[in-house]
């Protein structure tokens, strides 16, 4: 029994590593294709950086890119501002923890495309308000905020509350306690919440399909080009290779920050 | 036949030259131990002395780097994993399963052995009744008081009928009154069931009042073994004397009060000694008999390979990092 | 400052409820209204649901749900050992860190680009078929690799795998090591320790992982659009096509059906969990 269990567990663990590799195979292939002569053939070869050159010359992706960066930045700031106070209050909360968490996590239980549709239905169909950057920010915030809050909670739950009490006991006024003691302790969580807000918004697609209106974000642009078999696809490969590298670096920062706290 | 050989023949557990290191920190440094069938042996020592590590090695939860011998009832245990050893442990914080009821906790060891439901329920109820918990079978663990949890942990360990019962600071988290009851419980169980018990404690009073024999440990080594009276009245090293004499004079349960004058004098003398930096964390001098040293090769090589500076850094943190 | 925080918290919660929670209920309301162009008329009609039944969209929901369920189960089977390894027995900190990073980054990768690349790999002349041909596994390129349920399955398993591993890892990290030691000490081998101690104690994480994998997989639009090939409609296709034809009441009805199915699943899962934990 135990031997069979061990063998099965080892096999499944290998499958787990396999699936992790499966996540990256397309990304690596994408990177290879982006430096190939004919990316759309699906085969690397005739290596060239010319697509990167035409990417830097092309203009089509710049406006969506800047728009996505702006929206992601706003979502990140909103996430941090909205995640810090509840996360600070959480350890002191006596009642209502479960219902508070359930309220915040509830939208995660709805598929993204359905949530996008519902936000659209509520505002556009019911109230006649046109979609735009504001609704993108709103739907991205609803998507990213639970993650931001969780990453703040990981930190506040591991931070000793008596640190702030000790500072107060030593005579520090509340603002000083916040600046000198709490913020430095919370910094990994703040960075984590900001990164979650930024990156989840920056790559958000299913909600944006409905809440974007006339505004085109970078994922919407990529998706449109990819579905339309456009000639711009080669440039999308280059762009996304760069974005993937940046995402990996950001993920590394996030993991190091959160693991330093939880280790 | 020498007396040592006779002891080994009667021993239920025989361990020889056990060395355990966590990283480069030595937890057990050549420990040997014999436990006779039916006795209650107490391993006594301050925090970080390696006593819990020793207990975990006996239970199979830690694998020593070297062990010249480790037998229970004559069978070699060195390659036997924890779940196949005839031992049962009562953990320091009880480690009761929070997702099971008190009864299901007690049944656990029987369930994994494939005992049918009705039989294991009957046995679990008998074990709970033995510890005056007959009406607590269906309680969840978080609905039990500290003393009740303690006794559930006992019942859980007893019900598998281990050859050797291991107790890790069994009374660490209990108040004075509960301690007295539990001491009596343990003694009664041991005598009625003929159990062999090894318990770990840092409390001198517990050790003196309950044990058949005491093993005093310090810094990963056994410094003295003997009957409670011997250890108390004829400490073999300054450390044992200071440790046994610390605090209030011990009250022997069966005899008139007797001031432990020798231990007290030693303690006053210790106070006048200049503080030794390397042992500043411990209020007693760490002098050990010379022959106890140097029997473990396992981590020596690793230590030697490090620079002199780092070696000194390790020496200044003598084993207080070792989990106790 | 505390007073400020005291009044800000309920305000924020109200905003959150209005902006994030209320729309979830709005779908159910709109689904029973009559539509006129882009707008709705305030009179009740079950027409939205009738249209769903006529166009066979209940079957679409069911098919997509089955696929999402299969994806979650495969992720669970492979993710549980990986999560336990990450939380308990990863000997090398460097390897563990690399796996953590690899499992974090997919949250942030652009779905369209990744799926497009997968399409190029799975196609008739793609690298997977070329590899299979070279290894003499098949004689002709496999045509079911792309534009099929299989392709959608492969496209969904990768991206949502981390959603499964993360919550389970966190819940296994929270299990007191002494409990597993106690289990072994009481005579439980690896299988019994897993079955009777680790699995029940990790159950909250497993349920969270199932929810966080199945739900996005159910609603994913990119993968079916790029890998499904259009021969079969998936949930996201149905939502998009209903809303591009401006049939918002039917779209809202579809959303309501999905949420009802999910609520039903959650409820039955919760009941099963309660019965299991009692017995």
Q: Residue C256: enclosing H or E segment and its boundaries?
A: helix C248-278
User: Phi/psi at A187 (nearest 5 deg)?
Assistant: -55, -45
Across chain A, which has 263 residues, the per-10-residue mean pLDDT values are: 89 91 86 80 76 80 88 93 84 77 83 86 81 89 89 76 77 78 80 85 86 86 79 79 83 75 49
The percent of residues above 70 in pLDDT, for chain B, comes to 72
From residue C254, give the alpha-carbon distance in Å to each of B92, B113, C42, C60, C261.
56, 51, 19, 10, 11
Judge: B59–C196 Cβ closer than 8 Å, yes or no: no
Judge: B83–C185 Cβ closer than 8 Å, yes or no: yes
**What is the structure's pLDDT at B156?**
93
Judge: C184–B83 Cβ closer than 8 Å, yes or no: yes
How far C6 CA lies from chain A's nearest CA (Å)?
Answer: 10
pLDDT tens by residue, C167-226: 898 888 888 889 999 999 999 999 999 999 999 999 888 988 888 888 888 888 888 888
Helix (H, G, I), strand (E, B) or coil at B195: coil
**Most confident residue range from A169-183, B21-35, C29-43, C218-232:** B21-35
Average pLDDT over residues C111-121: 83
* Partners of residue B82 in chain C, C-beta under 8 Å: 181, 184-185
Instruction: Return the number of CB contacts < 8 Å for A and C.
Output: 270
pLDDT exceeds 50 at position B291: no
Both tokens of B246, joined, read 């610390």
Q: Considering only residues 197 to 216 of chain C, which have any Cβ-Cβ distance to chain B shorter than 8 Å?
A: 197, 200-201
Looking at the complex, does the CB of residue C193 fall below 8 Å from at least one CB of chain B?
A: yes
Judge: B95–C192 Cβ closer than 8 Å, yes or no: no
* Partners of residue A121 in chain C, C-beta under 8 Å: 23, 26-27, 30, 248, 251-252, 255
Average pLDDT over residues B209-231: 90
* Partners of residue B88 in chain C, C-beta under 8 Å: 185-186
**What is the structure's pLDDT at B270?**
43
pLDDT tens by residue, B113-154: 989 999 999 999 999 998 888 899 999 998 898 888 988 999
Both tokens of C131, joined, read 């590899």
DSSP letters, C173-208, are: HTS-HHHHHHHHHTT--HHHHIIIIIHHHHHHHHHH
How far C95 CA lies from chain B's nearest CA (Å)?
Answer: 19
Cβ-nearest to C187 among B61, B96, B112: B112
Check: CATH 3.40.50.410 for B3-86+162-316? no
**What is the structure's pLDDT at B108?**
93
pLDDT exceeds 70 at position B87: yes
From residue C112, give the alpha-carbon distance in Å to each of A115, A201, A237, C239.
19, 15, 10, 18
Which residues, 6+ apart, have CB-to-CB distance to B25 below 8 Å?
A: B314, B317, B319, B321, B322
Whole-complex ipTM: 0.79
Cβ-nearest to C200 among B89, B99, B111: B99
SS3 content of chain A, % helix, strand, coil (to 5): 80, 0, 20
Residue in A closest to C217 by C-alpha: A111
**What is the structure's pLDDT at C38?**
63
How far B291 CA lies from chain C's nearest CA (Å)?
Answer: 35
pLDDT exceeds 80 at position C36: no
Average pLDDT over residues B5-29: 80
Alpha helices in B67-137 (DSSP H): 102-111, 117-130
Q: What is the mean pLDDT of chain B?
A: 76
> How many CA atoms does the CB half-sphere of B137 hold within 13 Å?
14
Judge: A111–C117 Cβ closer than 8 Å, yes or no: no
Residue in A closest to C116 by C-alpha: A226
Looking at the complex, does the CB of residue C174 fall below 8 Å from at least one CB of chain B?
A: no
* Partners of residue C112 in chain A, C-beta under 8 Å: 205, 219, 222-223, 226, 236
Looking at the complex, does the CB of residue C185 fall below 8 Å from at least one CB of chain B?
A: yes
Q: Contact at 8 Å (CB) between B40 and B164?
A: no
In the numeric block, the tokens 């046994």 are attached to: B244
Is the pLDDT higher at C40 or at B214?
B214
What CATH superfamily is the domain C53-278? Answer: MetI-like (1.10.3720.10)
pLDDT tens by residue, C258-278: 888 888 888 887 888 777 665
Q: Please enumerate residues of B whose Cβ is less than 8 A from a Cβ of C.
A: 59-61, 81-84, 87-89, 91, 93, 95-99, 108-109, 111-113, 156-157, 160
Q: What is the mean pLDDT of chain C?
A: 83
From residue B103, give the alpha-carbon distance in Å to each of B140, B150, B151, B156, C245.
9, 14, 12, 9, 62
How far C204 CA lies from chain B's nearest CA (Å)?
Answer: 12
* Partners of residue A124 in chain C, C-beta under 8 Å: 38
pLDDT tens by residue, C59-91: 888 889 899 999 999 999 999 999 999 888 766
**What is the structure's pLDDT at B1?**
45
Long-range residue pairs from C119-127, CB within 8 A, at least 24 positions apart, any chain: C119/C146, C119/C151, C119/C226, C119/C227, C120/A29, C120/A33, C120/A40, C120/A42, C121/A25, C121/A26, C121/A29, C121/A42, C122/C146, C122/C151, C122/C154, C122/C227, C123/A42, C125/A41, C125/A42, C125/A43, C126/A42, C127/A29, C127/A42, C127/A43
**What is the structure's pLDDT at B315?**
40
Cβ-nearest to C26 among A103, A121, A243: A121
Q: Which residues of C106-131 are buried (b: 16+ CB within 10 A; e: fewer)?
A: bbbbbbbbbbbbbbbbbbeebbbbee
Alpha helices in C55-198 (DSSP H): 57-84, 93-104, 111-122, 127-134, 149-173, 177-185, 190-193
Is the pLDDT higher at C192 or at C4?
C192
Helix (H, G, I), strand (E, B) or coil at A1: coil
How far C62 CA lies from chain A's nearest CA (Å)?
Answer: 15
Which residues, 6+ apart, have CB-to-CB distance to B77 below 8 Å?
A: B60, B70, B71, B85
Residue in B closest to C197 by C-alpha: B97
Judge: A18–C78 Cβ closer than 8 Å, yes or no: yes
**What is the structure's pLDDT at B255?**
41
**What is the structure's pLDDT at C175?**
87
Judge: C182–B89 Cβ closer than 8 Å, yes or no: yes
């Amino acid at each position: 029994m135990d031997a069979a269990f061990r063998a099965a567990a080892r096999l499944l663990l290998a499958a787990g590593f396999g699936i992790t590799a499966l996540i990256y195979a397309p990304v690596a292939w994408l990177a290879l294709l982006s430096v190939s002569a004919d990316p759309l053939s699906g085969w690397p070869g005739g290596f060239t950086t010319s697509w990167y050159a035409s990417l830097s010359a092309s203009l089509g992706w710049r406006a969506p890119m800047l728009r996505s960066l702006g929206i992601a930045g706003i979502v990140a700031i909103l996430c941090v501002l909205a995640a810090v106070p509840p996360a600070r209050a959480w350890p002191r909360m006596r009642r209502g923890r479960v219902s508070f968490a359930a309220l915040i996590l509830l939208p995660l239980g709805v598929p993204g495309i359905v949530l996008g549709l519902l936000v659209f239905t509520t505002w556009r169909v019911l109230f006649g308000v046109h979609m735009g950057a504001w609704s993108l920010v709103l739907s991205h915030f609803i998507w990213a905020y639970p993650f931001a809050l969780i990453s703040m909670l990981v930190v506040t739950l591991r931070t000793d509350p008596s640190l702030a009490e000790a500072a107060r006991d030593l005579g520090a006024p509340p603002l000083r306690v916040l600046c000198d003691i709490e913020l430095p302790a919370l910094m990994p969580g703040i960075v984590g919440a900001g990164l979650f807000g930024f990156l989840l918004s920056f790559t958000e697609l299913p909600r944006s399909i409905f809440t974007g209106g006339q505004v085109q974000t970078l994922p919407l642009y990529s998706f449109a080009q990819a579905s339309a078999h456009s000639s711009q696809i080669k440039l999308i490969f280059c762009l996304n290779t760069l974005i993937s590298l940046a995402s990996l670096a950001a993920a590394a920062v996030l993991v190091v920050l959160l693991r330093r706290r939880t280790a | 036949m020498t007396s040592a050989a006779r002891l080994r023949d009667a021993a239920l557990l025989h361990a020889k030259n056990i060395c355990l290191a966590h990283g480069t920190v030595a937890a057990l440094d050549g420990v040997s131990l014999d436990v006779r069938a039916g006795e209650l042996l107490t391993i006594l020592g301050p925090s970080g002395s390696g006593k819990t590590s020793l207990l975990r090695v006996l239970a199979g939860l830690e694998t020593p780097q070297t062990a010249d011998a480790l037998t229970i009832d004559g069978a070699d245990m060195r390659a036997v994993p924890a779940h196949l050893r005839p031992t049962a442990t009562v953990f320091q914080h009880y480690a009761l399963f929070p997702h099971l009821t008190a009864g299901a906790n007690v049944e656990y060891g029987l369930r994994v052995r494939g005992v049918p439901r009705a039989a294991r329920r009957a046995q679990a109820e008998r074990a709970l009744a033995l510890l005056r918990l007959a009406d607590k079978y269906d309680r969840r663990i978080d609905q039990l008081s500290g003393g009740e949890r303690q006794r559930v942990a006992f019942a859980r360990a007893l019900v598998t009928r281990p050859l050797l019962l291991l107790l890790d600071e069994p009374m660490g988290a209990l108040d004075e009154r509960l301690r007295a009851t539990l001491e009596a419980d343990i003694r009664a169980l041991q005598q009625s069931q003929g159990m062999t018990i090894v318990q770990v404690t840092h409390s001198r009073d517990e050790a003196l009042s309950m044990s058949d024999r005491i093993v005093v440990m310090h810094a990963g080594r056994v410094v003295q073994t003997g009957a409670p009276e011997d250890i108390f009245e004829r400490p073999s090293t300054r450390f044992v004397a200071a440790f046994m004499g610390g605090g209030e004079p011990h009250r022997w349960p069966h005899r008139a009060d007797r001031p432990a004058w020798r231990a007290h004098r030693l303690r006053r003398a210790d106070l006048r000694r200049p503080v030794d930096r390397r042992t500043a964390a411990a209020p007693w001098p760490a002098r050990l008999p010379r022959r106890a040293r140097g029997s473990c090769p396992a981590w020596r090589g690793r230590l030697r390979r490090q620079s002199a500076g780092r070696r000194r850094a390790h020496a200044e943190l003598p084993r207080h990092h070792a989990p106790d | 400052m505390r007073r400020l925080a005291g009044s800000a918290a309920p305000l924020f919660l109200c905003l959150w409820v209005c902006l994030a929670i209320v729309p979830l209920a709005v779908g159910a309301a709109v689904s029973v209204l009559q539509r006129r162009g882009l707008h709705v008329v305030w009179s009740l009609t079950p027409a939205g649901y009738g249209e769903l039944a006529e166009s066979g969209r209940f079957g679409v929901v069911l098919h997509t749900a089955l696929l999402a369920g299969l994806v979650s189960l495969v992720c669970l089977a492979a993710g549980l050992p990986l999560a336990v390894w990450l939380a308990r027995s990863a000997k090398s900190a460097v390897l563990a860190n690399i796996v953590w990073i690899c499992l974090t980054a997919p949250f942030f990768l652009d779905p369209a680009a990744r799926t497009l690349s997968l399409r190029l790999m799975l196609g008739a002349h793609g690298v997977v078929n070329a590899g299979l041909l070279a290894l003499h596994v098949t004689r002709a390129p496999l045509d079911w690799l792309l534009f099929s349920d299989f392709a959608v399955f492969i496209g969904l398993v990768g991206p949502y795998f981390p959603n499964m591993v993360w919550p389970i890892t966190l819940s296994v990290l929270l299990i007191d090591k002494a409990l597993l030691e106690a289990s072994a000490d009481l005579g439980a081998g690896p299988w019994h320790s897993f079955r009777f101690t680790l699995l029940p104690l990790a159950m909250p994480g497993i349920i969270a992982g199932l929810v966080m994998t199945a739900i996005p997989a159910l609603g994913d639009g990119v993968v079916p659009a790029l890998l499904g090939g259009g021969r079969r409609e998936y949930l996201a296709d149905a939502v998009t096509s209903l809303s591009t034809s401006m049939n918002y009441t039917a779209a809202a009805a579809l959303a309501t059906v999905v949420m009802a199915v999910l609520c039903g699943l959650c409820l039955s899962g919760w009941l099963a969990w309660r019965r299991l934990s009692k017995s």
